[in-house]
Structure 1
Amino acid sequence: MTAIEIVAEPGVPQVLVTREFAAPASKLLRAHTDPDLLARWLGPEGLQLTVDVLEPRDGGRWRYTQTDAKGERFSFFGLYHGTPSTQGIVQTYEFDRQPGRVYLNAISFEERGERTVLRQNTVFQSVEDRDYYVRGGMEVGLRASLDRLDALVTGRQ
């Protein structure tokens, strides 16, 4: 398993994530844009993910809902900017519990032979918004999600 690097510099409204996968960029892209695959890896442990809308094209919408064991629902949604490709994905990101706070999320895939480095750059409107995201369990959720993504794209899931 490859280490995940998560950088959230104090005072900077940004989170940078880096993770290397033993898979081509095409598999990572498919895992991000196929609703059945996305539901298998995205989100913290213990939450059920339902993909409500996934239109991976320029201007397309996406929306998914996570449901906990008590039935409480958390929805996330946004728009794609540009068509997702093996070069990367750019999308807005909103959380229903933080209305009007929009994040910009850019994911890049850099192939290195048989491996691909995924980099995710999430930019927030303010440091306070970023801190809310971090306090909400971002690191635990990201680590669990990327571990499941690794298992999926390498055939271990």
Structure 2
Amino acid sequence: MSRRELGDAATTVVADGSELVIERVFAAPRELVWAAMTVPQHLAHWIGPHGTTTEVVELDLRPGGRWKWINRYDGGEIAFQGEYLEVDPPKRLVRTTAPDLEPAGGPPAVETITFDEVDGGTRVLWVTVFPAPEVLDFAVDSGMITGILEQYERLADLVAQG
């Protein structure tokens, strides 16, 4: 796959090789954005595209801790799970991520999420390295980018409420 720029006016999204890079500045303090992305009751309000409800089944925020949530939408659901590899509040998270499928798929992707203070807001840089370029291509072609852009809109709305 060649480099593809897939974002919108508010969120930069670039797919290149096996790497997906998402960047957005939220008009909120870093601690608030961190909490929105790591506290189960907050996650349930924004993770997933418009029309999705989310159940956070597990969230053990520590290195070696597991996480799992289920996104429900008209006609179905999909669960995602992984393990936290690094937790440095409120600066950085590194975790594995994969759909929770039976039988299990291939190796998980690795997400590195950094939270930087910038001009009264927080820049979130979310870099996901997929196991292979073909896996990223499949995710992009299945509509993943629309979901990312919509969930970031939902996150922006949530942190704007304080």
Q: TM-score, normalised by structure 1?
A: 0.91
1:59 matched residue in structure 2: 64
Contact 1:101 1:129 in 2 (8 A): no
CA distance in structure 2 between the partners assigned to 1:13 and 1:27 by the alignment? 30
CA distance in structure 2 between the partners assigned to 1:84 and 1:133 by the alignment? 28
Q: Deviations over 1:119-147 (max 9, x none)?
A: 00000110111111111211111111111
1:90 matched residue in structure 2: 94
Q: Deviations over 1:88-118 (max 9, x none)?
A: 1110001124623310000101101311111
2:20 matched residue in structure 1: 15
Structure 1 or 2: larger strand share? Answer: 2
Q: CA RMSD in A?
A: 1.5
Contact 2:86 2:92 in 1 (8 A): no
**Residue 141 of structure 1 pairs with residue 147 of structure 2:** yes
Structure 1 stretch displaced more, 109-118 or 13-22: 109-118
Report the secondary structure of 1:139's partner residue.
Answer: helix
Structure 1 stretch displaced more, 130-139 or 102-111: 130-139
CA distance in structure 2 between the partners assigned to 1:83 and 1:123 by the alignment? 18
2:85 matched residue in structure 1: 81
Amino acid at match of 1:95: P
* Identical residues among aligned pairs (%): 32
5+ residue gaps, structure 1: none
2:3 matched residue in structure 1: none
2:48 matched residue in structure 1: 43
Q: Deviations over 1:30-68 (max 9, x none)?
A: 011111100000101222211110111111110001122
Contact 2:69 2:80 in 1 (8 A): yes
5+ residue gaps, structure 2: 1-8
**Residue 4 of structure 1 pairs with residue 8 of structure 2:** no
The Cα of 1:84 is off from its aligned counterpart by 4.2
CA distance in structure 1 between the partners assigned to 2:85 and 2:45 by the alignment? 24
Q: TM-score, normalised by structure 2?
A: 0.88
The Cα of 1:155 is off from its aligned counterpart by 0.9
Report the secondary structure of 1:83's partner residue.
Answer: strand
Q: Tell me the number of residue pairs that the alignment of Structure 1 and Structure 2 aligns.
A: 152
Q: Which runs of 4+ in 1 moved over 6 A?
A: none
CA distance in structure 1 between the partners assigned to 2:68 and 2:142 by the alignment? 19
